[in-house]
Structure 1
């Protein structure tokens, strides 16, 4: 059997599709969860190496910058070489099997892991804000023109899927999920899942009409002139989280010092990254630190180019007064964001059983999913919330304009 051909309905390799299907079965998740709860507890809080899992996207920057600049070692931790994965299915599977112990993961995916699979893991910080966009074929000028086309998302449980569906519905379009060759009506948009690395080529050969994903895949299409940014997600939901830092709950309970030092390193990496975007691009690039396969010019565009006049004229920015960046870095996980995300996620189409989602209470998730004690401590070490331009009370009201 060929395990590498693409699944007709979602574009994933058959191997990834089978892995993802396994992750959605309760027996699989429960078995791994039980194994992890029964792992031996070691006396030394710093005994385990930091094992980072990441995708080749700018979302991973703080994890990788901290490794490149030896910030984990400065905290007294040992590290393994960060491990690159091609898809969210792969990184989640590795995390559940404890092959990696610190990952960046899509915020909605963390909800599915903890509540859909009852897996003991928690968010300890945001990894970045904004940093994603809806990129389409060059001749598409507004969302209504996406009718009759297929659009790729990186994962069903993602801010990308949520924002895309809200945008499409507000433009009178119907969300569908159809097999590859099934006809798509002019008022329908067919959603498929594609690993981020496969999106640029799929757009170039016009097998899809667009994709919504993290950088630098939007910048890549711009540089290749095979696509244009239709909307930046940070211009739809101001300073939204995309990826979060996710760790096993056992490490939070049994290795508090280890967890604190990991978060310390990440907060320092984020603060440094805000003022050194070109250097971050070099670290991530295949021409520099070799953490990703992306060329430096693509990463430079993703991390530094956000001409508000150009993108406003082009329609990608509708709210220039927000004064946000294409991608930014700040670690604090605002409860208001968690509550609003859960509320909107309940109305978003996803694959699999969503009974658990309908039962979730937004305020409950806001309290239970995150342990913000580590990031609060880490912020004090770098000058407090003001170091990131955050309010001292660490509170905000969500600003959303779909």
Structure 2
């Protein structure tokens, strides 16, 4: 994908009024030492500059700040900086305006192998945490025929899962454009997450697939209902991952390891304090997220029984939590994601996917050394309910 195409994506979403208080993309973060973030030749004392989208995907990075875990590691941390879109956060990371971000795992693949940017995945940020939400008049996937559904980014697990579901229903995804889709088609468009609930309410789209808490907001406002949870299609999938610059892993290894220890500690706290997390992060609490506490509680501490009774959750034996947290980046997931992306329609040049070997991506994109060490510091994999050998088989059932 060319820079021109990337900036065209960016132009699609920067008009959003969401997070109007965010600084302009090209501005320097207050107190930073410039776009490179280097403070002296070694750079070991560079501040932690977090970039995030105000969604529940970002919670570990934010909780580590709120509870002082970065400072416990001897790190200097600036106020986390919110962005309006995935395009913005990726662009700011490339410009070195921020140095710790969460990003959609497919977008991380695109950033390293299509853009050639030296980004490395160092941990998963969370698992599950997304859903397909539809207008109340949509009864099943077949009712989406000839209609429009929004995704947050072409390179996203949301797009992958949605297209799996549509194909299962005998529907053909078509990308972008205008006009009425054919009866066997569903038109997919990219839309900023904060615009999705209003667009659904206005009848501009028939549904959206996105991270929480926008699905919860649609439910609370009576504007939509959840048709499927993504974690009920791909068991315990990663959505967002923690990204660092390769240079920081090579030249500032101790700094990078300290960042990951703080994030892993925050994930463990989130698993054990779900109700408190909703209060802390909400607009009624510390205000890291602009959504109300009620919506976040619906995500962190959900009552799954109504979804089971309604058939929204098909794999009862999985009992997928609405969102969960564990940091280990399973190589099997990265490899399977590369294979699935090859069958997923996206805009732009996808030649890099045809050249990319799944096993190579799992080894080259991810640096799992710091997170393995961080896991041991909190009691090992079993502290998160993970197998001791840190191996698994991917389960995908649309």
- Provide the TM-score with structure 1 as the length reference: 0.90
Q: Deviations over 1:119-148 (max 9, x none)?
A: 011000000000000000012121111101
How far residue 324 of structure 1 moved from its aligned partner, in angstroms, is: 2.2
Q: For the Cα contact (< 8 Å) 2:37–2:96, is it kept in 1?
A: no
Q: Hey, what does 1:388 align to over in structure 2?
A: 384
More deviation, 317-326/241-250: 317-326
**Match among 181, 195, 199 for residue 198 of structure 1:** 195
Q: For the Cα contact (< 8 Å) 2:335–2:358, is it kept in 1?
A: yes
Can you give the 5+ residue segments of structure 1 that lack an aligned partner in the other structure?
1-6, 17-35
Q: Hey, what does 2:295 align to over in structure 1?
A: 298
Relative to total residues, which structure has the larger helix share, 1 or 2? 1
Q: Is 1:271 paired with 2:257?
A: no
Q: Is 1:227 paired with 2:186?
A: no
**Match among 89, 99, 102 for residue 101 of structure 1:** 99
Q: Deviations over 1:275-308 (max 9, x none)?
A: 101111112111001011101101111111141x
Which SS does the other structure have where 2:182 is aligned? Answer: coil
Q: For the Cα contact (< 8 Å) 2:216–2:299, is it kept in 1?
A: yes
Q: Is 1:49 paired with 2:47?
A: yes
Which SS does the other structure have where 1:321 is aligned? Answer: coil
Q: Deviations over 1:308-342 (max 9, x none)?
A: x3102222100111132110000000001011000
Q: Hey, what does 1:31 align to over in structure 2?
A: none
Q: Hey, what does 1:365 align to over in structure 2?
A: 361
CA distance in 1, matches of 2:327, 2:66: 19
CA distance in 2, matches of 1:9, 1:53: 19
CA distance in 2, matches of 1:41, 1:283: 35
Q: Is 1:338 paired with 2:334?
A: yes
How far residue 8 of structure 1 moved from its aligned partner, in angstroms, is: 12
How far residue 178 of structure 1 moved from its aligned partner, in angstroms, is: 3.9
Superposition map of 1:20-31 within 5 A: none
How far residue 179 of structure 1 moved from its aligned partner, in angstroms, is: 2.4
Q: Is 1:183 paired with 2:180?
A: yes
How far residue 399 of structure 1 moved from its aligned partner, in angstroms, is: 1.1
Q: Is 1:123 paired with 2:126?
A: no
Which SS does the other structure have where 1:169 is aligned? Answer: helix
Q: Deviations over 1:5-62 (max 9, x none)?
A: xx9999924769xxxxxxxxxxxxxxxxxxx9997973362x1110000001100000
How far residue 160 of structure 1 moved from its aligned partner, in angstroms, is: 0.2
CA distance in 2, matches of 1:261, 1:177: 42
Q: Hey, what does 1:247 align to over in structure 2?
A: 244
CA distance in 1, matches of 2:168, 2:180: 23
CA distance in 2, matches of 1:385, 1:10: 38
CA distance in 2, matches of 1:14, 1:393: 44
Q: Hey, what does 1:379 align to over in structure 2?
A: 375
Q: Deviations over 1:245-273 (max 9, x none)?
A: 00100000000000000000000000000
Q: Hey, what does 1:70 align to over in structure 2?
A: 68
Q: For the Cα contact (< 8 Å) 1:174–1:189, is it kept in 2?
A: yes
Q: Hey, what does 2:86 align to over in structure 1?
A: 88
Q: For the Cα contact (< 8 Å) 1:10–1:194, is it kept in 2?
A: no
Q: For the Cα contact (< 8 Å) 2:13–2:192, is it kept in 1?
A: no
Residue 44 to residue 119, structure 1, CA distance change in 2 (3 Å): closer
Can you give the 5+ residue segments of structure 2 that lack an aligned partner in the other structure?
1-6, 17-34
- Provide the TM-score with structure 2 as the length reference: 0.91
Q: Deviations over 1:202-260 (max 9, x none)?
A: 11111000000000000000000100000000011110000000010000000000000
Residue 382 to residue 109, structure 1, CA distance change in 2 (3 Å): same
CA distance in 2, matches of 1:306, 1:92: 34
CA distance in 2, matches of 1:376, 1:68: 24
Which SS does the other structure have where 1:291 is aligned? Answer: coil
